[in-house]
């Protein structure tokens, strides 16, 4: 993807002391929780006993597991405009009613045991001990997408590039939807086990094994650096991020956050009764943590004094588009803070073709009826980012 930033304002991150504390979510005490998802006003938590749902910003959860795996853990979630998906010990499940009921979607999965699930554009990816699987029909059918002899534990993407972390083989990336994979382990120092990986704009964060910590790459995984800046050595199992911060969850040392893209970190553990974190998530008002033995906790973002206005954050890291080149449509993936911003698509002559508003985290712009050529997409209000889009 070719991208040129004409104007943007940088959010200045700095480390502060957090005086707030975590609150345990009602309905989760004593539970093992391994995965989280925010979808608008709905918050989902999954673990050893299935899926739990909250409709009050993670203050209260109740079991919402009808039809989902009830014999093993729910280890991951993803979503699209129509469905919520789970990744479990018994395969993939899909819900069309916000988690009230679930149906299995396992046709083509040769191993049901899953470690992660991810939606990228119109594709779904499911990873587990026999590699990567892909679905192009919202989970109705799956096919193999490489690494069939590799135990894959986590997956993320930057635009149309996939990244996976494995158990024993390090990190791989694919630029062709899993048709081929390339090992990208430079700088990992022999660390081969990765159970969490996160993309924050064009920056990657990966959670290493015991004795290591969090690794960061700013060049699509070509090189990795082990981070310090307040992070303790150990295994990291979960991340969450938006344009303003990255949050990391460790195995035994709690939660850390950074507002300068991982250069410096602050611990926020007051109120946590279990410091082993398996996943993290963000909604509009809270950091949410899934713990090993004590369920779900939430921490108010207001304690961190972060700005939330569109003009105050780094627009460059808040927006991405894919696929590019395209034949019919592009997907504008935007951080939740930029919802409400305007966009305009221009021809190569500078003529506005059409305009609209970013109305959710994934906004589709139809280009099927436009002639082939080069277009420019402007996104943002006072701070704008310009994307060069190629229509075939």
9 within a domain of the structure (yes/no): no
Backbone conformation region of residue 184, classed left if phi is above 0, alpha if psi is from -120 to 50, else beta: beta
Closest CA to 256 of 236, 271, 273: 236
pTM over 0.85: no
Angle ∠(281,172,154) on CA atoms, nearest 5: 30
DSSP 129-176: TTEEEEESSTTSS-EE-S-TTS-EEEEEEETTEEEEEEBSS-EEEESS
- The three-state secondary structure class of 266 is strand
- CATH at residue 345: 2.60.40.3080
Predicted confidence (pLDDT) per residue in 35-73, tens digit = 999 998 999 999 999 999 999 999 999 999 999 999 999
Q: Which two tokens stand for residue 334?
A: 């935007």
Please state, in angstroms and rounded to a whole number, the distance separating the CA atoms of residues 123 and 100.
24
Instruction: Please tell me the total count of domains within the chain.
Output: 2
87 within a domain of the structure (yes/no): yes
Domain span at residue 372 reads 310-391
Please state, in angstroms and rounded to a whole number, the distance separating the CA atoms of residues 53 and 156.
24
Burial grade of 200 (CB within 10 A; 0-12, 13-18, 19 or more) = buried
Nearest-10 Cα torsion for 200, 204, 207, 208: -170
Predicted pLDDT of residue 340: 74
Q: For the chain (length 392 residues), average pLDDT per consecutive 10?
A: 32 42 97 96 96 97 97 96 96 97 97 96 96 97 98 94 96 96 95 95 93 94 95 96 93 96 95 97 94 97 69 55 90 77 79 80 87 85 72 89
Q: Does residue 283 sit in the same domain as residue 326? A: no
Predicted pLDDT of residue 19: 55
Which of these three, 304, 337, 368, is where a domain ends? 304
Please state, in angstroms and rounded to a whole number, the distance separating the CA atoms of residues 292 and 4.
43
Q: Does residue 274 sit in the same domain as residue 330? A: no
Q: Any idea how long the chain is?
A: 392
Q: Does residue 326 sit in the same domain as residue 194? A: no
Q: Which residues contact 349 (CB under 8 A, 6 or more apart)?
A: none
Predicted pLDDT of residue 67: 98
Predicted pLDDT of residue 307: 56
Predicted pLDDT of residue 381: 60
Predicted confidence (pLDDT) per residue in 192-214, tens digit = 999 999 999 889 999 999 999 99
Q: Does residue 33 sit in the same domain as residue 177? A: yes
Q: Does residue 325 sit in the same domain as residue 292? A: no
Q: Which two tokens stand for residue 261?
A: 């893209």
Which of these three, 304, 329, 347, is where a domain ends? 304
């Amino acid at each position: 993807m070719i991208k040129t930033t004409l104007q943007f304002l940088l959010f200045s991150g700095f480390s502060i002391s957090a005086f707030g504390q975590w609150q345990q979510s009602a309905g989760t005490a004593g539970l093992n929780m391994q995965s989280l998802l925010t979808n608008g006003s709905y918050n989902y938590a999954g673990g050893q006993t299935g899926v739990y749902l909250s409709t009050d910003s993670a203050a209260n959860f109740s079991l919402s597991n009808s039809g989902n795996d009830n014999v093993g853990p729910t280890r991951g979630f993803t979503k699209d405009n129509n469905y919520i998906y789970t990744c479990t010990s018994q395969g993939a499940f899909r819900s069309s009613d916000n988690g009230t009921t679930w149906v299995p979607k396992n046709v083509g999965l040769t191993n049901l045991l899953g470690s992660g699930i991810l939606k990228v554009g119109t594709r779904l990816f499911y990873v587990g001990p026999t590699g990567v699987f892909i679905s192009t029909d919202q989970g109705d059918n799956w096919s193999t997408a490489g690494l069939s002899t590799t135990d894959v534990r986590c997956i993320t993407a930057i635009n149309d590039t996939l990244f996976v972390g494995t158990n024993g083989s390090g990190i791989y990336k694919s630029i062709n939807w899993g048709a081929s994979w390339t090992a990208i382990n430079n700088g990992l120092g022999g660390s081969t086990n990765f159970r969490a990986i996160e993309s924050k704009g064009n920056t990657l964060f990966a959670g290493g094994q015991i004795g290591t910590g969090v690794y960061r790459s700013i060049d699509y995984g070509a090189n990795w650096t082990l981070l310090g800046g307040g992070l303790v050595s150990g295994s990291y199992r979960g991340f969450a991020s938006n344009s303003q911060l990255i949050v990391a969850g460790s195995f035994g040392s709690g939660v850390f956050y950074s507002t300068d893209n991982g250069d410096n970190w602050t611990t926020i553990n007051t109120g946590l009764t279990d410091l082993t974190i398996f996943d993290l998530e963000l909604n509009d008002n809270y950091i949410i943590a899934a713990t090993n033995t004590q369920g779900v906790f939430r921490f108010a973002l207001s304690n961190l004094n972060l700005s939330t206005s569109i003009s105050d954050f780094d627009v460059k890291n808040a927006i991405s588009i894919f696929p590019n080149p395209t034949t019919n449509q592009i997907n504008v993936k935007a951080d939740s803070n930029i919802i409400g911003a305007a966009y305009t698509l221009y021809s190569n002559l500078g003529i506005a073709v059409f305009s609209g508003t970013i109305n959710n985290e994934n906004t589709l712009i139809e280009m099927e009826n436009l002639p082939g050529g080069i277009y420019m997409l402007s996104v943002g209000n006072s701070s704008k980012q310009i994307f060069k889009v190629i229509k075939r």
